[in-house]
Amino acid sequence: MNKKHIVLTGMAAVFAAAMLMLASCSQKDAWNTDFDTAKNIAEKKNKNIFLLFSGEDWDEHSAALKASVLNTKEFKKQIAPSYVLAVVELSQSEYARTVVDNSATEEQKKEAERLTAEYAKKEALLQQYYVESFPAMYILSPEGYVLATVPYSETLTSVQDLSAQLESQQEIISTVSDAIATAKKASGTDKAVALDALYELTQENFRPILTDVVSEIPALDPENVTGLVGKYELINGYAAAIEKLMKDNDIDGAVRVFTGLCDSSNISNAQKQEALYTAAFMLARTGSQDYDTMTSLLEQAIAFEPENDIVKEIETTIQAIQDMKKKILEMQAGTEAPAGNS
């Protein structure tokens, strides 16, 4: 091998190394567009996630936030290294490609199927993180639990503004992070107590994200030493009922979840009252006209805790149901009655 070849080979190696370094830097600065990938990276690196919901091609605020803050060198230098960055982009132009006509090519049809599946995941994330406006920013644990929200306003126009927002959230971020760490290390009833602390620290809108982990609590404390089992049997019941409604449209099954909770010795009378009231409310909200079942559920609810403050509200609800039943019966009678002689 001659000297010239050795030099060229050496230069090629240096070039290859430089390209790898550039690729690594690019990857580090990039926003992950797949949320599951971002979570995997965050768990491996033990970093929190900076999650952005954006609608750049239709929402001027998303575009402005990116231009003035999130896509700047200052952001990449000062804030990005502390997080795994993730973006859920809701693009109108991209979503439009989920609909194709019969003249579309096979490639276009496959792309439409891919985008449809992708947007179904994005819609699920929108619901999971209770997104009400765009842009929306969150600080998540590596597991995807909400540590803090980062409120957006039109006055957030610089990296310094964002840094100040994040700094103001550090106390709650640290507190919730510590609660997660404690729950991970604990076992048995100690773990049940730690999970309850995490649940209570979490903002109410985001507690459903913890459903899978808090569902462990009854099994962690089979003797109900902590006194928490009833609380989480009820919470798990809500999750099970919602799943029956959303996935199977099984209203009767959802109602049975709540009525079944009344057989548990871990659930207090007040909690049983709540379960039956919720079952009746669920029937009403889904358009059921089974007024007798609703009334029966509410009367049973009152019987469990007749001195509870909510009883007056339940009694008012019973009266409203009876009035509605009477009105429906009168309408039916009027429709079925023969026409009078003129």
CB 165 within 8 A of CB 156: yes
The single-letter code of the amino acid at 280 is: A
pLDDT band of residue 334 (cuts 50, 70, 90) is confident
Per-residue burial over 91-100, b if 16 or more Cβ lie within 10 Å, else e, is beeebeebeb
Number of C-alpha atoms within 13 angstroms, CB side, residue 226? Answer: 21
Rounded to whole angstroms, the Cα distance separating 20 from 107 reads 32
Rounded to whole angstroms, the Cα distance separating 262 from 148 reads 36
pLDDT band of residue 336 (cuts 50, 70, 90) is low
Q: For helices 251-261 and 291-304, give the axis angle rounded to 10 degrees.
A: 20
Rounded to whole angstroms, the Cα distance separating 226 from 259 reads 24
Rounded to whole angstroms, the Cα distance separating 165 from 173 reads 12
SS3 259: helix
Rounded to whole angstroms, the Cα distance separating 111 from 97 reads 8
Q: Considering the chain, what is the average pLDDT of its residues?
A: 90
Rounded to whole angstroms, the Cα distance separating 120 from 128 reads 12
Higher pLDDT, 49 or 10: 49
- Reported as a single tens digit per residue, the pLDDT across 218-270 is 999 999 999 999 999 999 999 999 999 988 899 999 999 999 999 999 999 99
pLDDT at 3: 43
Query: For a pLDDT cut of 70, what percent of the chain falls above it?
Result: 89
State the CB neighbour count (10 A cutoff) for residue 265: 7
Closest CA to 33 of 94, 109, 79, 82: 94
Flag whether pLDDT at 7 surpasses 60.
Answer: no
Rounded to whole angstroms, the Cα distance separating 85 from 53 reads 11
The single-letter code of the amino acid at 220 is: L
**Is 0.85 surpassed by the pTM of this model?**
no
Flag whether pLDDT at 332 surpasses 70.
Answer: yes
pLDDT at 111: 94
Q: Return all residues near 263 (Cβ < 8 A) that are at least 6 apart.
A: none
How would you classify the pairing of strands 83-89 and 136-140? unpaired
SS3 138: strand
SS3 305: coil
Rounded to whole angstroms, the Cα distance separating 209 from 229 reads 19
Flag whether pLDDT at 158 surpasses 90.
Answer: yes
